[in-house]
């Protein structure tokens, strides 16, 4: 038994052919059966060929499905990444485009703001006049003349402004500058002007509605222009103007060929008390303060005060006199009505020579000039203006509005040798697009250019009919 056990222990299990070398027939049969039984058990434990193949196919399919799913996920990730990149690119491009557009707009704005915005305009006017104190005018039924041709130039370069106007007067045979200045807008409320501009005094821009002006124009206190610097400050409802004028607008005190009325040094074109006394305006200061009360959209009232003081240099005596004026005014707009009121006092104190060419100088007169003529004005006086206008909108072909007005001026000299001076203008302004027509009936006593003489009053009432047709462009 010990041998048999030892032999079994030495039996190779990987070869069944070698068993019969050491076993007997019965043992051999038993071993063979045992080996066959073991093989059957092994075969019963291991899966058959069909089951194994099915398992392998299922596994492969599952792996393939996972691979396909993985590929899908990778494709989706790549697509999402591409879309994100595209979105980033679009955003950047849009930002670039927006930035370029903004930069282009900024450059365009800078270039455009540096270009001058220039506006050219002007007017052409013809005038019919009839004078009841002139026998020639009555015989002819009046005169029709080319009154004015003017050119206007206005513009801005950023905050720099400029304005100029030049006029030709064929009827009076002269031409002259009306105004010309440059300026700067420091803010929306603060502006400075340098050159020839309107003197800030009393009712502005005019103390009248008619073509003929008020009586204040003929004593140099309406629509006056001089050479200097002016500061305009308009905070809220306030209108504040301060100015310094070195001299008259032409710088030629002996020349009466001018638009606005000034003291002149000689009797150029003189009549009605004009004398070459040698006076000229210089170093004049002005201050005007006004406040506007708004009552409604179409109703407001401006109330203001004005002051003026300056030297009167006499180029004959070499001495300085002076002049001054003060005024209060009201300018009210009440729907279709406009009301203008002004009261002022003025004084001239020249240092005249005693005689001129052997003639005694009238020391109660100051010589003023404009429109190619000169005349004498009382040295001191008070003046008042009362004007009322009413505007009616119409639709009569090209005519869009009619303005009816009555403008009244009274000048009261302080010297008893002079009588009161008065002027009334009743009329109508017809508005038809760029065409404006003034039909005025001018009546008065002792009023210059209306058949009267301020220096030698005769208290005779005179009447002038004036019709002015103007095309403004």
Give the span between the Cα atoms of 223 and 198, in whole angstroms: 6
pLDDT tens-place string over residues 71-101: 676 676 676 666 655 554 444 455 555 666 6
Q: What is the pLDDT of residue 58?
A: 60
Q: Where are the chain's structural domains?
A: 2-45, 122-472
pLDDT band at 49 (very low <50, low <70, confident <90, very high): very low
260: Cβ–Cβ under 8 A, 6 or more apart, which residues? 220, 223, 224, 225, 226, 249, 370
Closest among 1, 450, 430, 394 to 210, alpha carbons compared: 430
Q: Tell me how crowded residue 192 is: count the other CB atoms within 10 A of its CB.
A: 16
354: alpha, beta or left? (left if phi > 0; alpha if psi -120 to 50): alpha
Give the span between the Cα atoms of 199 and 213, in whole angstroms: 16
Backbone φ, ψ for residue 448 (5° rounding): -60, 145
Ranges 15-24, 236-245, 305-314, 367-376: which has the least confidence: 15-24
Instruction: Look up the CATH superfamily of 122-472.
Output: Porin (2.40.160.10)
pLDDT band at 115 (very low <50, low <70, confident <90, very high): confident
Q: Is residue 92 helix, strand or coil?
A: helix
How far is the first Cα of the chain from the last one, in angstroms, to the nearest whole number?
Answer: 148
Structure-token match 């900024």, residue found = 106
Q: What is the pLDDT of residue 23?
A: 43
Cβ–Cβ < 8 Å for 464, 132: yes
Share of residues in the chain with pLDDT > 90 (%): 73
Share of residues in the chain with pLDDT > 70 (%): 77
Q: What is the pLDDT of residue 95?
A: 54
């Amino acid at each position: 038994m010990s041998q048999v056990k030892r032999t079994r222990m030495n039996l190779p299990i990987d070869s069944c052919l070698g068993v019969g070398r050491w076993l007997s027939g019965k043992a051999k049969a038993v071993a063979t059966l045992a080996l066959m039984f073991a093989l059957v058990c092994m075969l019963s434990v291991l899966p058959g060929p069909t089951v194994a193949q099915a398992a392998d196919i299922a596994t492969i399919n599952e792996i393939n499905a996972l691979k396909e799913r993985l590929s899908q996920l990778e494709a989706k990730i790549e697509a999402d990444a591409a879309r994100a990149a595209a979105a980033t690119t679009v955003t950047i491009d849009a930002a670039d485009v927006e930035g370029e557009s903004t930069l282009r707009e900024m450059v365009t704005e800078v270039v455009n703001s540096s270009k001058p915005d220039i506006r050219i305009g002007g007017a052409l006017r013809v005038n019919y006049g009839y004078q009841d104190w002139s026998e020639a005018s009555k015989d002819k039924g009046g005169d029709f003349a080319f009154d004015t041709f003017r050119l206007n130039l206005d513009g801005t370069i950023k905050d720099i402004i400029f304005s100029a106007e030049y006029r030709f007067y064929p009827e009076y045979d002269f031409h002259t500058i009306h105004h010309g200045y440059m300026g700067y807008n420091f803010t929306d409320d603060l502006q400075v002007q340098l050159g020839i501009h309107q003197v800030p005094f009393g009712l502005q821009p005019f103390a009248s509605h008619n073509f003929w002006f008020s009586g204040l124009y003929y004593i140099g206190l309406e629509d006056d222009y001089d050479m200097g610097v002016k500061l305009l400050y308009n905070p809220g409802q306030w209108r504040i103007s301060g100015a310094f004028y070195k001299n008259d607008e032409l710088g030629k005190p002996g020349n009466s060929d001018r638009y606005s009325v000034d003291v002149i040094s000689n009797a150029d074109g003189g009549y009605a008390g004009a004398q070459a006394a040698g006076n000229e305006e210089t170093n004049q200061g002005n201050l005007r303060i006004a406040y506007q009360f708004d009552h409604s959209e179409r109703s407001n009232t401006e109330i203001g005060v004005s002051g003026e003081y300056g030297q009167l240099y006499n180029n004959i005596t070499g001495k300085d006199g002076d002049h001054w004026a003060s005024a209060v005014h009201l300018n009210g707009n009440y729907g279709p009505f406009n009301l203008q009121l002004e009261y002022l006092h003025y004084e001239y104190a020249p240092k005249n020579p005693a005689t001129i060419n052997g003639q005694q100088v009238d020391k109660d007169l100051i010589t003023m000039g404009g429109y190619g003529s000169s005349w004498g004005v009382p040295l001191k006086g008070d003046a008042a203006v009362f004007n009322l206008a009413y505007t009616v909108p119409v639709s009569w072909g090209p005519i869009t509005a009619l303005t009816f007005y009555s403008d009244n001026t009274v000048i009261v000299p302080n010297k008893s040798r002079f009588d009161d001076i008065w002027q009334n203008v009743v009329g109508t302004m017809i508005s038809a697009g760029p065409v404006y027509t003034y039909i005025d009936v001018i009546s008065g006593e002792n009023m210059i250019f209306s058949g009267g003489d301020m220096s030698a009053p005769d208290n005779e009432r005179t009447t002038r009919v004036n019709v002015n047709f103007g095309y403004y462009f």
